[in-house]
């Protein structure tokens, strides 16, 4: 291990920047590589992954620019767990391990990591999380409304070495392939992820090792994390001290069950420290909408904090040192045991919105109104003539909240996904039995206000072969406005079978899915963002 006694005084500021941009050059190249070589549209087009470099004490210090935001904030913990399982003394150059255990997210989010060596010393880790298309379970893709245990959602892997000393472990690869409905997609994405990991090892050896020894690398990382912490503390200190809070009631139908949940989030700002208390979240549920503490509550709050603070400081482990997250075990975002997590990402956008709204309720000039806050998703899967399984995911793209000096933007993915892209229509039609009839812009979806909330998309498409339909339920509570702004419009997913005039809401009656025949139509109306400020016509009415 690298000696943990850092000597910041010996770190030249110019050398620190050279190291920072050298590390960034590695993550950016890996990002390009995995996008170029991945098999499934989820990774190739939507870029459902994160590339990160981790310190020896498992703190992220560099991520790629296109990484999905919610993935960035807990990348160190799965690596820590995998290393503890393998034993750090057993790691050697050329090892690559796989884990989806210590994430607190649905198990499709698989982390692949590798130690980075300076001679016989580990000086860091490269880590890549990617959404594997399928790991078995009740339904293709693992996201089943009918799941009541995480064991029904696929296979969990914990610190398994796929490569040892640079040599592929064929029995491990065969085990991965044996536990999926989609062998071709899983293998293609896995190999792209593995290639990026091994490229990361090579670039670290070429670009970092010749210029800095292991002790210098440790010092450079430490100084960067310290600077990021100082930046965050200054930003917090500039905010008004005090107690802030937000509450929401969430109602929707999930798998034929009516769900009502009450959420409460509290924030305390005291000087250069911030504490976020999530003790008021609903208890974990039998439904597969839970998340674990690491990749759930902690990740959502850290992402919301990053949005609030902004600035040009690196998003690294030091940035979040002044932020404390308080949450007991057993809530919907800190679930324990075998709680199912297939739809873990349903609550993440809501928690991000609540964090921002807690500040906005007292100081609306500082933040935007709430956004549509839903990952959304229309998931289709079926079998081709050769018996292979196909799966297509159509995400929700809605409106962001307006703010004091501008209207909300949209349609885009929700805040937990950041700049994640939609799969192009041409690619979807070329690879899957679907045909798009319309993708239009609903400019009226955003809530009215002095500035209107963001617009949303309205999609209509047809399935050309028999398939199963699975959807994210749409909440019945719209995105609230701020400072007198009106809420955005609600979203909805409906379907219509051939020779029928009746549009229906999918309820997953048949084992958690809805069976469709060729010619069925699906309409996905996405939700709008909240408005900001009292609408002008209301000002006029008040004046009269």
pLDDT of residue 284: 98
The mean pLDDT value of the chain amounts to 94
Q: Kindly report, residue by residue over 339-370, the tens digit of the pLDDT.
A: 999 999 999 999 999 999 999 999 999 999 99
Q: Kindly report, residue by residue over 250-299, the tens digit of the pLDDT.
A: 999 887 789 999 999 999 999 999 999 999 999 999 999 999 999 999 99
Percent of the chain predicted with pLDDT > 90: 87
Q: Which residues of 98-115 are buried (b: 16+ CB within 10 A; e: fewer)?
A: bbbbbbbbbbbbbbbbbb
pLDDT of residue 11: 81
Q: Kindly report, residue by residue over 128-151, the tens digit of the pLDDT.
A: 999 999 999 999 999 988 899 999
Backbone angles phi, psi at 474, to 5 degrees: -90, 125
pTM of the predicted protein model: 0.94
What is the arithmetic mean of pLDDT over 8-23? Answer: 87
CA distance 188 to 29: 19
Confidence check: pLDDT of 7 > 60: no
pLDDT of residue 8: 58
pLDDT of residue 538: 64
Confidence check: pLDDT of 50 > 70: yes
Banded pLDDT at 513 (limits 50, 70, 90)? confident
What is the arithmetic mean of pLDDT over 438-447? Answer: 96
pLDDT of residue 256: 78
CA dihedral 34, 39, 300, 77 (to 10 degrees): -60
CA distance 343 to 190: 22
473 close to 347: Cβ distance less than 8 angstroms: no
pLDDT of residue 543: 46
Confidence check: pLDDT of 2 > 70: no
Q: Which of 427, 434, 422, 430 is nearest to 469 (CA)?
A: 434
pLDDT of residue 255: 76
The 8 Å CB, 24+ separation contacts for 83-90 are: 83/58, 83/115, 83/125, 83/159, 84/159, 85/158, 85/159, 86/159, 86/161, 88/1, 88/122
Q: Kindly report, residue by residue over 190-233, the tens digit of the pLDDT.
A: 999 999 999 999 999 999 999 999 999 999 999 999 999 999 99
What would the two tokens of residue 450 be? Answer: 């002095």
Percent of the chain predicted with pLDDT > 70: 97
Q: Kindly report, residue by residue over 159-195, the tens digit of the pLDDT.
A: 999 999 999 999 999 999 999 999 999 999 999 999 9
């Amino acid at each position: 291990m690298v000696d943990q006694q850092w000597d910041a005084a010996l770190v030249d500021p110019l050398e620190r920047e050279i190291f920072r941009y050298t590390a960034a050059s590695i993550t950016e190249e890996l990002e390009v590589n995995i996008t170029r070589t991945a098999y499934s549209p989820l990774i190739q087009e939507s870029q459902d992954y994160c590339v990160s470099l981790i310190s020896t004490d498992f703190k992220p210090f560099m991520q790629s620019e296109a990484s999905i935001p919610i993935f960035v904030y807990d990348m160190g913990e799965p690596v820590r767990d995998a290393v503890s399982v393998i034993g750090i003394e057993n790691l050697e150059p050329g090892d690559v391990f796989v884990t989806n255990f210590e994430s607190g997210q649905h198990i499709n989010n698989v982390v692949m990591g590798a130690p980075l060596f300076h001679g016989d010393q580990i000086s860091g880790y490269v880590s890549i999380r990617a959404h594997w298309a399928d790991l078995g379970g009740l339904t293709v893709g693992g996201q089943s409304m009918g799941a009541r245990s995480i064991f029904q959602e696929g296979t969990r892997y914990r610190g398994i070495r796929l490569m040892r000393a640079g040599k592929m472990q064929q029995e491990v690869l065969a085990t991965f392939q044996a536990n999926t409905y989609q062998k071709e997609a899983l293998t293609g994405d896995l190999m792209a992820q593995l290639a990026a990991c091994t490229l990361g090892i090579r670039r670290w050896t070429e670009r970092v090792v010749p210029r800095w020894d292991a002790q210098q690398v440790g010092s450079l990382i430490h100084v960067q994390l310290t600077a990021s912490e100082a930046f965050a503390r200054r930003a917090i200190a500039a905010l008004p001290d005090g107690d802030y809070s937000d509450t929401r009631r969430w109602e929707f139908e999930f798998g034929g069950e009516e769900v009502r949940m009450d959420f409460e989030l509290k924030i305390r700002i005291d000087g250069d420290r911030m504490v976020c208390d999530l003790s008021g979240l609903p208890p974990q549920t039998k439904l597969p909408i839970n998340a674990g503490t690491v990749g759930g509550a902690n990740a959502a709050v850290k992402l919301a904090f990053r949005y609030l603070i902004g600035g040009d400081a690196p998003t690294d482990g030091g940035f979040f040192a002044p932020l404390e997250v308080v949450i007991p075990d057993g809530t919907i975002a800190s679930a324990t045991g075998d709680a199912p997590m297939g739809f873990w990402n349903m609550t993440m956008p809501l928690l991000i919105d609540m964090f921002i709204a807690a500040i906005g309720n007292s100081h609306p000039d500082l933040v935007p109104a709430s956004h549509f806050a839903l990952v959304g998703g229309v998931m289709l899967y079926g079998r081709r003539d050769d018996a292979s399984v196909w799966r297509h995911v159509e995400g929700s793209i809605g409106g962001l909240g307006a703010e004091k000096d501008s209207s909300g933007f949209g349609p885009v993915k929700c805040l937990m996904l950041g700049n994640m892209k939609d799969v192009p229509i041409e690619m979807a039609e070329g690879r899957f039995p679907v045909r798009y009839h319309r993708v239009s812009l609903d400019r009226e979806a955003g809530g009215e206000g002095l500035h209107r909330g963001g617009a949303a998309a309205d999609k209509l498409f047809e399935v050309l072969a028999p398939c199963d339909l699975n959807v994210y339920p749409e909440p019945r509570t719209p995105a609230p406005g701020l400072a007198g702004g009106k809420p955005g419009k609600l979203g909805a997913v409906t379907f219509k079978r051939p020779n029928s005039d009746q549009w229906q809401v999918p309820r997953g009656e048949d084992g958690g899915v809805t069976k469709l025949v060729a010619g069925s139509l699906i309409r996905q109306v996405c939700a709008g963002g909240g408005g900001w400020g009292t609408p002008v016509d209301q000002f006029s009415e008040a004046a009269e």
